[in-house]
Structure 1
Amino acid sequence: MELPRAVADAAHRDSDDAQARVARIAAADTLTPADRYQELFVEVQMSRVFDDGKTFIDCAPLDEPEKILSAYRAQKDHAGFRLADFVAAHFSAETIPEHHYESNPNQSLADHIDTLWDVLTRAPQTHPRKSSLLPLPKPYVVPGGRFGELYYWDSYFTMLGLAESGRPELLRAMADNFAFMIDTYGHVPNGNRTYYLSRSQPPVFALMVELFETHGVHSALHYLPQLHKEYAYWMHGVDDLRPGEAHRSCVRLDDGHVLNRYWDDRDAPREESYREDVMTARQSSRPAHEVYRDLRAGAASGWDFSSRWLDDPRELSSIRTTALLPVDLNSFLCKLERQIARLSAAIHDTSTAQRFDALAAARRQAIDRYLWNDAAGAYFDFDWQRDTRRELLTAATAAPLFVGIAGNEQAQRCGDAMVDRLLAPGGLVTTSVGYGEQWDSPNGWAPLQWMAIHGLRQYGGHVIADDIARRWLHTVAAVYEQESKLVEKYVVVGHAHGGGGGEYPLQDGFGWTNGVTRKLLNQQPRDHAHDARAGRRHRGRRR
């Protein structure tokens, strides 16, 4: 598809800088650690040289990778060979300083978040050679803990806080990085690691460009070429689909409507969780490659993992992510279609505007038909392979409100359903029922709180939205007073503390918690969370 002239012109702005960036990336190696180290990679991961499977694939090689692999092949059968010693001699592992994210005593919650941005910022100049990190042109903010790279949908919620903290330089750098990844790879990878290139995450770039425009980074129109490219990535192969067929992310339903699913182009174990995925697949009667694909698609959803994707909520091996049409993904894609239509109209590209308006209208109609449950008054995922709507209510039901595609009555009823079935003392639980996965009850996550709060406010539901915000801020503040830090997820049922479940320990930092909390603190200037002080409960004082 040929881009309109005005869009093409925008794509060539700052051409000298863009050419320099392309030259740098052209020299970068996109081989994943599994591709590069082959049987050495498998042996390290299956032998659990490191407790966390992500550690090895994030290591920096101390010599040329080809030489390391050759040395391994030459030495591995020698008497006395120890794999752990070999790895230690040839790789440098990233280390996370202890207490790296803790606040100074008596520091307020807002001040703590403001100081964390520099702690969580990474510079491209520090990228180790031949590691799995994909080079980026500008500094970027990472989530924290084991997550030392840029993540796609995390970053939108992180940016909310950057804007509130008055960090326009970081916001601009992040904008440049996301545009760069779309231009370079045709999509935003899950994160800037080679092993994430085969998948994306919830497509929130259309939301990002609104944030960039609001805070003076660039007009949204500046990013129209990248919006088109991201849309092409998600809709690849759609024109050739017949009813009942699927290709990559796209599914054409029996009535001709098109909705999307999460997808990963690879069907091998995830490199960051290689051993775990192998063991999970062994518990299933399905072909292993199908289980691997669904695990990877679950990671692409950002909800890795949740009973939302499982046939048996207590068995991860029953995961069927690619069989489901998620309400959040399709809401974000409807937002993308509407954004392209709006910006195309702004440059008087009437035909493109009309086409994307029609695409958005068709998607919204399909969402209403397949994902809206009128009896329950909420949105649910749809199992396209079994032609049935899922019954588990999740906080993703707020996504149509968040992007503004719900009807007024739908928004009202959806808000009621969230209050009745998801609202807990500390905020919204992720799912109405919990089965031990980290994206389940009793955990609550910052991005889901924000989607519900902002979505409800757009439809006049200020009382409910403010109540969720107050509960969430209380949770974050309580843990901050106890632990002197912010964490990845929280238990919002009963006594507030850091969340559990998942494949790795609770992580400190934490990008999107910081971003959403900083935004809410600015919106709620009289909330008691402003009075919270780091470590207060350790010192025996309470508010």
Structure 2
Amino acid sequence: MENNDERRATSAGAYTVPRNDPATPDGAGAVSGAVAAPAKVHAVAHPPLASHRECPLPHALASCPQADTLSPAVRYGELFVDVQHSGLFADSKTFPDCIPGCDPERIVASYRQSRIEPGFCLADFVQAHFTRAIVPDSHYVSDPAHTLREHIDGLWPVLTREPVAHPPLSSLLPLPHRYVVPGGRFGELYYWDSYFTMVGLAASGRGDLLLEMARNFAYLIDTYGLVPNGTRNYYLSRSQPPVFALMVDLLEREQVASARDFLPQLRREYEFWMDGAQALCPGCAHRRALCLPDGAVLNRYWDDRPCPREEAFLEDVQTAERSGRPHHLVFRDLRAAAESGWDFSSRWLDLPLAGHPADLATIRTTAVLPVDLNALLWHLEMRLATLCGQAGDADADHFLAAAQRREAAIRQYMWDAAAGIFVDYDWCRGTQRPCLTAATMMPLYLGLARAEEAAAIARAVDARLIDAGGLATTELTSGQQWDHPNGWAPLQWLAVRGLARYGHDGLARDIAQRWLATVAGLYARECKLVEKYRIEATGERARGGGGGEYPLQDGFGWTNGVASALMALYGDLPATCLNA
């Protein structure tokens, strides 16, 4: 059971959506990336989102003087809800990223007055008061004569953004240094994406960008008390897998900076993830920390707002409607899955009955203790112990003891000895999740696994997760984008380097070559790299992945980064691999 304080907090954020939403009128079809033509799309009477008091930001952000943290849903209230319900934009992310043409309070006041007038047109109103955020094009005409390596090196400047003037009252968070974006609809900095991008930047000899990106993340921690999911103010209620310590490790390996330079930010990020942990009683949870019945403390994903995600508003409303559960609980679990980076996957869903697909409406992310998250926090505790020791800080022993307790808990609750794999743990049901996923590789990547555990994992993964084009995300084919048959670059990197760390070089090389053949095969045919790939086929038969809430994106930051790093390790693939 969650503690009572948390139950009261989540209940206060409930958001009721009407069951009979009118359809978008004829002639007002969704327009990709732009406000629709001024067809007569009328405002619809939907209840406003929960108020700012009911959907609070963390206390550290509520009084943050450095930047505007008022998100579009809170700022625009019923106007935001009506636009998102109207179908004016094909992508729910478009309107939250729009830039207001004048003071938002004036816009809302004008909307409340004008929407009751005869002949009011919502599309006209939005077009008159907002400008679509201009994201520099991450696509360019590729030169078919360029090798994959040349293409990736040429993409870094295309995906690099300079710190520019912050558009007043927009959702974009300002940054002080240059950074690399993923590409496509993702025109801002994202947290865990960036680590894998940075791995590739290191392989390309771009130490300058490595340091600037790390300084941006340090700035975010100093300013907001966390690294948000991405640099939009509607992401400030959640983070992503805590990889800042891995970024700092990378800087030190590349001799760009000392890890001790970032010790204050590493400590503060740890405080964010462990907020409330010291006061927990067995069986209780607070935000991201949970105390199991034996007193062991582990972590989960969470989000501080129990409302629809602003960048996927209509999708979340529809999922909650279908769930049969209190909507605020569904919204919380959807947002928590977004914090995981695995949005979405069968990892977070009730397992489907035979013959039935996995249903996103069964999502219960906050009931799951993820093995990869807890391995990352173990690594953070170990690094804090080392760095504090180097600095003569008495907290070194505290962090070492915390790491030792976490390692014991991971092994007790998340090691499936019969299957020979690390799994997630369902703390509400007191059982291990039975599915093998690529998250089992994180303890190997970080050095937490024992040699015999790594050997068992290598056997299980070789038998159950390897496909023609690389490592599968999970065994289950669900229609969600973080499930089979999709493969994702970051998981290939974790697997390859994790296996190699324990001496399983043959399997590591096999996964790397399969993945590179997949990436290079699609590049040879279409001259681009994409966000995810289907891995049933490789070489010239390779194709981009499916599923998810948005079309396949190209660019693409972490694919470029992992491909570059794998080629640096294993060399370019011979033509025979590309034609497999």
For normalisation by structure 1, the TM-score amounts to: 0.91
Do residues 309 (structure 1) and 348 (structure 2) align?
yes
User: How many Å apart are 1:95 and its aligned residue?
Assistant: 5.2
User: How many Å apart are 1:520 and its aligned residue?
Assistant: 0.6
Instruction: State the Cα deviation string for residues 381-429 of structure 1 (Å, max 9, x = none).
Output: 0000000000111100001001110000000111111111100010001
Which of 99, 113, 117 matches 1:74?
A: 113
Query: What corresponds to 2:548 in structure 1?
Result: 502
Query: What corresponds to 1:520 in structure 2?
Result: 566
User: How many Å apart are 1:117 and its aligned residue?
Assistant: 1.1
SS in 2 for 1:251: strand
Are the structure 2 counterparts of residues 27 and 399 from structure 1 closer, same or farther at C-alpha, using a change threshold of 3 Å? closer
Contact in 1 for aligned 2:138/2:158 (Cα 8 Å): no
Query: What corresponds to 1:161 in structure 2?
Result: 200
User: How many Å apart are 1:312 and its aligned residue?
Assistant: 4.1
Which of 84, 108, 112 matches 2:151?
A: 112
Contact in 2 for aligned 1:110/1:530 (Cα 8 Å): no
SS in 1 for 2:93: helix
Query: What corresponds to 1:201 in structure 2?
Result: 240
Do residues 242 (structure 1) and 286 (structure 2) align?
no
d(CA) in 1 for partners of 2:168 and 2:150? 35
Query: What corresponds to 1:324 in structure 2?
Result: 368
d(CA) in 1 for partners of 2:134 and 2:221? 30
d(CA) in 2 for partners of 1:115 and 1:127? 27
User: How many Å apart are 1:77 and its aligned residue?
Assistant: 1.5
CA-based RMSD of the aligned residues comes to 1.7
d(CA) in 1 for partners of 2:396 and 2:251? 22
Q: Which moved more, 1:100-109 or 1:353-362?
A: 100-109
Q: Counterpart amino acid of 2:108?
A: L
Q: Counterpart amino acid of 2:509?
A: D
Contact in 1 for aligned 2:492/2:511 (Cα 8 Å): yes
SS in 2 for 1:176: helix
User: How many Å apart are 1:230 and its aligned residue?
Assistant: 0.5
Are the structure 2 counterparts of residues 144 and 380 from structure 1 closer, same or farther at C-alpha, using a change threshold of 3 Å? same
d(CA) in 1 for partners of 2:140 and 2:491? 23
User: How many Å apart are 1:76 and its aligned residue?
Assistant: 1.0
For normalisation by structure 2, the TM-score amounts to: 0.86
Query: What corresponds to 1:252 in structure 2?
Result: 291
Query: What corresponds to 1:188 in structure 2?
Result: 227
Q: Counterpart amino acid of 1:294?
A: D
Q: Counterpart amino acid of 2:373?
A: L
User: How many Å apart are 1:124 and its aligned residue?
Assistant: 2.0
SS in 1 for 2:170: coil
Q: Which moved more, 1:519-528 or 1:442-451?
A: 519-528
Query: What corresponds to 1:273 in structure 2?
Result: 312
Query: What corresponds to 1:444 in structure 2?
Result: 487
d(CA) in 2 for partners of 1:181 and 1:301? 19
Query: What corresponds to 1:457 in structure 2?
Result: 500
Contact in 2 for aligned 1:102/1:485 (Cα 8 Å): no
User: How many Å apart are 1:277 and its aligned residue?
Assistant: 0.5
Contact in 1 for aligned 2:138/2:184 (Cα 8 Å): no
d(CA) in 2 for partners of 1:28 and 1:99? 27
Instruction: State the Cα deviation string for residues 246-300 of structure 1 (Å, max 9, x = none).
Output: 1000010011111100000000000001111111001112110000000000000
Contact in 2 for aligned 1:449/1:468 (Cα 8 Å): yes
Which of 427, 442, 452 matches 1:384?
A: 427
Contact in 2 for aligned 1:521/1:530 (Cα 8 Å): no
Q: Which moved more, 1:191-200 or 1:129-138?
A: 129-138
Query: What corresponds to 1:14 in structure 2?
Result: none
What is the percentage of aligned positions where both structures have the same residue? Answer: 59
Do residues 480 (structure 1) and 523 (structure 2) align?
yes
SS in 2 for 1:125: coil
Higher helix content, 1 or 2: 1
User: How many Å apart are 1:27 and its aligned residue?
Assistant: 5.0
Contact in 1 for aligned 2:421/2:457 (Cα 8 Å): yes
d(CA) in 1 for partners of 2:285 and 2:136? 46
Do residues 335 (structure 1) and 383 (structure 2) align?
no
Do residues 361 (structure 1) and 400 (structure 2) align?
no
d(CA) in 1 for partners of 2:70 and 2:373? 28
Q: Counterpart amino acid of 1:167?
A: R
SS in 1 for 2:175: coil
Query: What corresponds to 1:43 in structure 2?
Result: 82
User: How many Å apart are 1:126 and its aligned residue?
Assistant: 4.8
Instruction: State the Cα deviation string for residues 176-217 of structure 1 (Å, max 9, x = none).
Output: 100001111111000111000000000001111011112232
Query: What corresponds to 1:426 in structure 2?
Result: 469
SS in 1 for 2:87: coil
Are the structure 2 counterparts of residues 466 and 86 from structure 1 closer, same or farther at C-alpha, using a change threshold of 3 Å? same
User: How many Å apart are 1:448 and its aligned residue?
Assistant: 0.4
d(CA) in 2 for partners of 1:490 and 1:328? 22
Q: Which moved more, 1:162-171 or 1:332-341?
A: 162-171
SS in 2 for 1:291: helix
User: How many Å apart are 1:345 and its aligned residue?
Assistant: 1.6
User: How many Å apart are 1:101 and its aligned residue?
Assistant: 4.3
Are the structure 2 counterparts of residues 259 and 164 from structure 1 closer, same or farther at C-alpha, using a change threshold of 3 Å? same
Do residues 221 (structure 1) and 260 (structure 2) align?
yes
Are the structure 2 counterparts of residues 99 and 261 from structure 1 closer, same or farther at C-alpha, using a change threshold of 3 Å? closer
Query: What corresponds to 1:413 in structure 2?
Result: 456
Q: Which moved more, 1:74-83 or 1:190-199?
A: 74-83
Instruction: State the Cα deviation string for residues 465-510 of structure 1 (Å, max 9, x = none).
Output: 0100000000000110111100000001134200000000000111
d(CA) in 2 for partners of 1:98 and 1:189? 24
d(CA) in 1 for partners of 2:408 and 2:306? 32
